[in-house]
């Protein structure tokens, strides 16, 4: 599934003691390999240690460093792991600060540091020369000839394409990793020696996150540790693994023992994001050099222990504070978009059908917020409850209570007489509870709302959500239609949190109590008759499957273009404690069938605001033929 395990390591070192440093580097490399890591990144100049200063000009240290690289190759030749280790290179009487890329007893390539810092506490130019612009060179060592040397090296094994830079390279205006990513590298390693100052770690972390986002890559960062010289500076051994703007793993700095962090990188996701991002592709036109591709082959890239956490609810932030911020922002987007539509049309009334369910509740809350923004009286919100054959007392009473508590113009129109007359008109037996029985009610309600909006000079606000649109769980020209829709890019799993946010943060006790009971009510269109005790008999998730599964399927299908096989794999990992494999497979089949066969409904959607990265609007985000064959 194109996952690869990577590691960032900080070994214990002694300044200028190559033999000691080498022993700990080998320990870390072997441990990482035994744990399944296919790449391990070590700190800058860790063979010698970074803080050797004028000792770098001593022949003894340079010879021992080269011998150390040879010994490292010998001791790691049986490891199925790409090793990036820092050491100096003396080439044609010029000294370079380099990343040596090792694999199975060979140096695949050597990458020089492009930018040499020489300001404040740094004075590397006293010893090293920048490698900026160094491409397509070959260097010789006593034990290996014709080694690729340059800043344009990409080490490739199938879809895993590695590029490397060193420390200061990340801090410049255009880091070398930007060019490497545009030339195909999707995993970047940074061998660093970044000293600690107050708040520097925060800035460093932000740099790494931003660079991984800008380059749509994984970024593996390793910095020198506390055992470097403390004559003037202190290093902390900061280790980070980032992927496309997020931190996957980070260590606790200032450790005194060998330390390794690990993470699984989702290369499929990175490649998918790059494929969709036209700006990323266009940026490649600015690259004026060709990459030097160095191919190598792992023995095995299967993940034996899949320990990456797969978010079960990708639309919903797991952190409560972040969830509250997201909810507030989404409400602002919805309300601001709706306010613009009211201002543009000059309309000062809203019409909405209220069922006592989640979606219409959320839409009503958005309308109330919009009217507050526009200083429109809440009495101009015409809320219509339309009891039918399946309406239960619970949803009916919640609908009434909510509208009264919010101060809306509440009206009731019972659709049963009209539905019965329509059954008679079209010759349908009222005792046959089929799709006709259900859709007659849905379309009757929409007709009432449309006509009442015309009569009152109001704007009919739609309530359907993203999950329903993905599954086509709406009646064509029924609840499918409105004059403006406010929930079309909000999945059902997020609708719940938005309603809960209003209940907990922005409501009176009376409104909160009603909203909490609505949240506790099973999702249902209530189109089939209730049971003898007046309870809901038609529960949506019993028919089409759990919405949390469908939202997960939808996210990965749209966001990353994931295959059915990949979605199934991720689902089984994410929901292994909640559903059996058979249940997941069943509902994924249902999702695929419904998503493909219901496109015709999405092709005729009313206007509505996009609030997240996934939308099924036929105008902006999703264009699909209505007659495409479902994928099996």
Binding-site residue set for L-glutamine: 119, 194, 200
Q: Which of 352, 289, 625 is nearest to 486 (CA)?
A: 352
Residue 167 catalytic?
yes
Residue 234 near residue 226 (C-beta atoms within 8 A)? yes
Q: β-pairing, 137-141 with 144-149?
A: antiparallel
Residue 113 catalytic?
yes
Q: β-pairing, 106-112 with 137-141?
A: unpaired
Structure token pair of residue 68? 């150390």
Residue 541 catalytic?
no
Residue 384 near residue 413 (C-beta atoms within 8 A)? yes
Alpha helices by DSSP H, listed for 172-319, are 176-182, 200-214, 267-276, 278-283
Please give the Cα distance from 533 to 538 (Å, whole number): 14
Please give the Cα distance from 185 to 530 (Å, whole number): 59
H/E stretch holding 614 reads: none
Phi first, then psi, for residue 334 (nearest 5°) are: -60, -50
CA–chain centroid gap for 581, Å, is 24
Residue 38 near residue 304 (C-beta atoms within 8 A)? no
In this structure, how many other beta carbons lie within 10 angstroms of the beta carbon of residue 174? 9
Residue 90 near residue 112 (C-beta atoms within 8 A)? no
The contacts of residue 209 (CB under 8 Å, 6+ apart) are: 242, 245, 246, 247
- Tokens 């708040």 locate to 199
Please give the Cα distance from 213 to 219 (Å, whole number): 9
Please give the Cα distance from 371 to 103 (Å, whole number): 65
Of the candidates 28, 98, 167, 408, the residue annotated as catalytic is 167
- Tokens 């080439």 locate to 91
Of the candidates 113, 249, 369, 492, the residue annotated as catalytic is 113
Of the candidates 44, 71, 250, 444, the residue annotated as catalytic is 44
CA–chain centroid gap for 296, Å, is 30
Alpha helices by DSSP H, listed for 506-580, are 509-519, 540-544, 547-559, 564-574
Q: Which segments are annotated as binding site for deamido-NAD(+)? A: 439, 468, 473-476, 601
Phi first, then psi, for residue 155 (nearest 5°) are: -100, 115
For residue 208, the cross-strand partners are none
Residue 24 near residue 16 (C-beta atoms within 8 A)? no
Residue 550 near residue 587 (C-beta atoms within 8 A)? yes
How far, CA to CA in Å, does 463 sit from each of 364, 480, 607?
Answer: 9, 9, 12
In this structure, how many other beta carbons lie within 10 angstroms of the beta carbon of residue 40? 31
The contacts of residue 398 (CB under 8 Å, 6+ apart) are: 356, 514, 517, 518, 521
Alpha helices by DSSP H, listed for 36-170, are 59-75
In this structure, how many other beta carbons lie within 10 angstroms of the beta carbon of residue 435? 9
- Tokens 């190759």 locate to 73
Terminal CA-CA length for the chain: 18
Cα dihedral value 360, 362, 363, 369, nearest 10: 150
Active centre residues (catalytic): 44, 113, 167
């Amino acid at each position: 599934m194109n996952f690869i395990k990577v590691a960032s390591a900080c070994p214990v070192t002694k300044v200028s003691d190559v033999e000691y440093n080498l022993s700990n580097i080998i320990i870390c490399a072997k441990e990482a390999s035994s744990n399944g890591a296919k790449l391990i990144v070590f700190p800058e100049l860790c063979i010698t240690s970074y803080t050797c200063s004028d000792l770098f000009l001593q022949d003894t240290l340079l010879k021992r460093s080269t011998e150390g690289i040879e010994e490292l190759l010998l001791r790691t030749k049986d490891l199925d792991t790409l090793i990036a280790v820092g050491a100096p290179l003396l080439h044609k009487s010029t000294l370079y600060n380099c990343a040596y890329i090792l694999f199975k007893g060979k140096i695949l390539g050597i990458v020089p540091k492009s930018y040499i810092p020489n300001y404040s506490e740094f004075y590397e130019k006293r010893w090293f020369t920048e490698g900026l612009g160094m491409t397509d060179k070959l260097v010789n060592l006593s034990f290996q000839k014709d080694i690729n040397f340059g800043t344009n090296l990409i080490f490739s094994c199938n879809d895993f394409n590695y590029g490397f830079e060193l420390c200061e390279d990340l801090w410049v205006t255009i880091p070398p990793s930007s060019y490497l990513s545009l030339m195909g590298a999707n995993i970047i390693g940074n061998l660093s020696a970044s000293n600690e100052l107050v708040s520097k770690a925060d800035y460093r972390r932000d740099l790494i996150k931003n660079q991984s986002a800008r380059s749509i890559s994984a970024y593996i960062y390793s910095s020198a540790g506390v055992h470097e010289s403390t004559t003037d500076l202190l290093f902390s051994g900061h280790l980070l693994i980032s992927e496309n703007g997020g931190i996957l793993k980070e260590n606790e700095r200032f450790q005194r023992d060998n330390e390794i962090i690990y993470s699984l990188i989702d290369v499929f996701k990175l490649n998918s994001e790059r494929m969709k991002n036209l700006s990323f592709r266009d940026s490649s036109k600015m690259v004026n050099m060709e990459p030097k591709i160095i191919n190598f082959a792992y023995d095995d890239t299967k993940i034996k222990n899949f320990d990456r956490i797969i978010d079960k609810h990708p639309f919903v932030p797991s952190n409560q504070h972040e969830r509250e911020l997201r909810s507030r922002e989404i409400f602002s987007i919805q309300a601001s978009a709706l306010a613009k539509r009211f201002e543009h049309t000059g309309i000062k009334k809203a019409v909405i059908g209220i069922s006592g369910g989640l979606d219409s509740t959320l839409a009503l809350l958005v309308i109330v917020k919009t009217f507050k923004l526009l200083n429109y009286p809440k009495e101009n919100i015409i809320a219509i409850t339309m009891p039918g054959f399946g309406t239960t007392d619970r949803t009916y009473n919640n609908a009434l209570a909510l509208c009264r508590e919010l101060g809306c113009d509440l009206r009731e129109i019972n659709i049963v007489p009209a539905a019965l007359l329509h059954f008679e008109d079209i010759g349908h037996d009222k005792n046959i509870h089929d799709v006709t029985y259900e859709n007659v009610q849905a379309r009757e309600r929409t007709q009432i709302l449309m006509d009442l909006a015309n009569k009152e000079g109001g704007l009919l606000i739609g309530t359907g959500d993203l999950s329903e649109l993905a599954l086509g769980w709406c009646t064509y020209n029924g609840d499918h239609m409105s004059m403006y829709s406010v929930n079309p890019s909000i999945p059902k799993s997020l609708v719940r949190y938005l309603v809960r946010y209003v209940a907990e943060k922005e409501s009176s006790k009376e409104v909160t109590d009603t909203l909490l009971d609505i949240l506790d009510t099973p999702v249902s269109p209530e189109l089939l008759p209730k049971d003898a005790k007046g309870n809901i008999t038609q529960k949506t998730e019993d028919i089409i499957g759990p919405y949390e599964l469908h939202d997960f399927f939808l996210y990965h299908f749209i966001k990353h273009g994931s295959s059915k096989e990949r979605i199934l794999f991720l689902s089984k990992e994410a929901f292994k404690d909640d559903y059996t494999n058979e249940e997941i497979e069943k509902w994924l089949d249902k999702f695929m069938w419904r998503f493909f066969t219901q496109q015709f409904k999405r092709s005729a959607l009313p206007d509505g605001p996009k609030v997240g990265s996934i939308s099924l609007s036929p105008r902006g985000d999703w264009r699909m033929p209505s007659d495409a064959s479902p994928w099996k």
